[in-house]
Structure 1
Amino acid sequence: MTAGQGPQGWDQPGQQPPGQPYGQPPQGQGPYGQAPHGQTPYGQNPYGGYASAPAAPDGFGAPRPVERPSAVKLGIGAFLASTVLGILGSIVTFAQFDEIVDRALVDAGLDPADYSDVSDAATAGVVTTTVVVALLFIGLQLLFIWFAWQGRNWARIVLWVLGGLAVVSGLVSLAGPSLSGLLTTLSLIQTLLIVVGIVALAQKPASEWYRYRGWQRARGL
């Protein structure tokens, strides 16, 4: 027996160690194609099944491109038309302000002639304040409409909130003191347009488009 060689040359290639059943791998080695005892085969989860593939850099990957749906176009258009009608209604209100004040005094059981001096002084202050507030509100409304058109989901939520408040206000005004026929018609149409805008922007295609636009902005696309 030479150095580095086992008894009777069992460590030579192709020979079976003594005492080892023929066809059985040596101790510490698994069958052909299997890992040794205590080790996990390549690509296999030690707790069962196979190891999961690495996650994509974008989670589930890029979403399917979504064009601006008709629901968004309808909703934004309805809110824009409602804003235009609001501007027209404000102009009519200012033109008929004295008549509206006199009608309110009559409804309260008062004689408008007894309050003519007070009415003239109050009219100037009320009209000035109303014009400033109306211009600010219209400017903000148009700004939110623009951002919602660009796919900003927060602007869509703001339009929902403002639209809901406008609907409640419109219903209260319709149930309140009588207005002129033109103002009543404008208020009714404006309220219906706001309802259409809220419902349209809440549709599933609109939500998917806003989600896609958010994904694009998050990656600078």
Structure 2
Amino acid sequence: MSSSVITTERLILRTWTEADRAPFSALSRDPEVMALVTPHPDRAASEAWIDRQVAAQSSDGFCFWAVEHSGSFVGAVGLLRVRYPAHFTPAIEVGWRIARASWGRGFAPEAAGAALRFGFTTLAVPEIVANTIATNARSLRVMAKIGMTRNPADDFDHPLVPDGDPLRRQVLYRITREHWAALFKAVPGRNTCSVNGWRKPDPVPHGGPSCPGC
């Protein structure tokens, strides 16, 4: 049985179930979804990845959760401890992987923004990071939408990716709790934007210019 961890206007971020394994395996073998990240070559690799999320949830209280929309699995989004050595570690990262059929609907920033809110308000972590390669335009847009920023001096070679691999050089984005609070702090009596939990004045539609995350 799954347990809901976070709910947004449209999504549920929850713990993993056996029923999630097949759709996650299909997602992780989609060449378009995995083109700019380390692929899962087979079902066993996807199963092992889910098992690591279950273990992280048990030990840390957070992981890359399964994401559900209208009763259907649409991807994985959440927080993880960075386990490899780098100049910015120890750190907590936010990440996402959305099924291609659900692209273009704003699910990644909606879920990732909610994960940031969980990290800063429930876990009280001081900073959250994200990384990808410089040509991953979709992920870079998500990072910007949820308020993260990049300093090129932070870019790094991923220690778990071999020399010569195009995925080795990574750009790093960060957001501190203070910066997040300044951008997205809730204001009592206002409607809530689905991204980051930021609250906007009633006349402003979702995605309007007054919402810094949309």
| TM-score with structure 2 setting the length | 0.26
Q: Which has the higher helix share?
A: 1
Q: Please tell me whether Structure 1 or Structure 2 has the larger radius of gyration of its CA atoms.
A: 1
| TM-score with structure 1 setting the length | 0.25
Q: Which has the higher strand share?
A: 2
